[in-house]
Amino acid sequence: MVLVGKKAPLFKAAAVINGNEIVNDFSLEQYIGKKYVLFFFYPADFTFVCPSELIAFQDSLSEIEKLDTVVVGCSVDSHFSHLKWLQTPLNQGGIEGVTYPLVADQSHMIAENYDVLAGERSFSETGEEIFEGTPMAYRGLFLIDKAGVVRHQVVNDMPLGRSVEEAIRVLEALQFTEKYGEVCPANWKKGKKGMKPTQEGVAEYLSENSK
């Protein structure tokens, strides 16, 4: 399911914030009208690729916050598992030092609503509900603007770690287009020129940048 251009699915769920505090009614709704959101899913706590991603987001958190943006992570683990992982040192496979919120999606409904759950529910011949697949989330990343609309999404299979640098690049591109009304061509980076969304603008850009 492509969510780009649509309102981000909202929810209320337990989460760990500030690395040590459990809240029971965390929601992305608190950011609407105030902040951009980088909302990402990862398969599970205490795994292998996942801590590298969560630490990478933490390492870039100050840069992301300067862009008026918050980072929120989510997996199907419980908030107790999140808390334990957050309290485990890095040299023991933990993510101690991560401060952005981690949402607990034990019902799998958040992952289902964002269409990143690695499997689906079905029914047996006797009418029993069964789950076919892996009841964890793929590595989905969603950039949500201040109006609560998804403006960018990318979903990786579980073995494939994401690029935090690319997430920041797309965030900067979105803010550039909002500020200047220009569009961002291929491989655009902060500091480069944009392109006027006209035939003349395209021709001018290509003539200046073609090799």
Residue 207 lies in a domain: no
Q: What is the pLDDT of residue 133?
A: 79
Amino acid at 101: P
Residue 201 lies in a domain: no
Helix extents (H) in 66-144 = 79-86, 109-113
- The partner residues of 149 in beta bridges, in order of sequence, read 7
**Count of CB atoms within 10 A of residue 183's CB?**
17
Banded pLDDT at 70 (limits 50, 70, 90): very high
Give yes or no for a contact between 189 and 170, defined as CB atoms under 8 angstroms apart.
Answer: no
Distance from C-alpha of 16 to C-alpha of 152, rounded to nearest angstrom = 25
Quick one: which H or E segment has residue 142?
A: strand 139-144
Banded pLDDT at 104 (limits 50, 70, 90): very high
* Active site (catalytic) residues: 50
Q: What is the pLDDT of residue 134?
A: 83
Q: What is the pLDDT of residue 211?
A: 67
**Predicted model pTM:** 0.93
Residue 143 lies in a domain: yes
Q: In which domain, by residue range, is 71 found? A: 13-160
Residue 7 lies in a domain: no
Residue 198 lies in a domain: no
The total of structural domains in the chain comes to 1
Residue 6 lies in a domain: no
**Count of CB atoms within 10 A of residue 180's CB?**
12
Which residue, among 64, 93, 112, 83, has the nearest Cα to 21 in the 3D structure? 83
Give yes or no for a contact between 27 and 149, defined as CB atoms under 8 angstroms apart.
Answer: no
pLDDT tens for residues 4-56? 999 999 999 999 999 999 999 999 999 999 999 999 999 999 999 999 999 99
Angle CA 12–169–111, to nearest 5: 25
Residue 205 lies in a domain: no
Task: Give me the CATH number covering residue 63.
Answer: 3.40.30.10
Q: What is the pLDDT of residue 1?
A: 85
Residue 186 lies in a domain: no
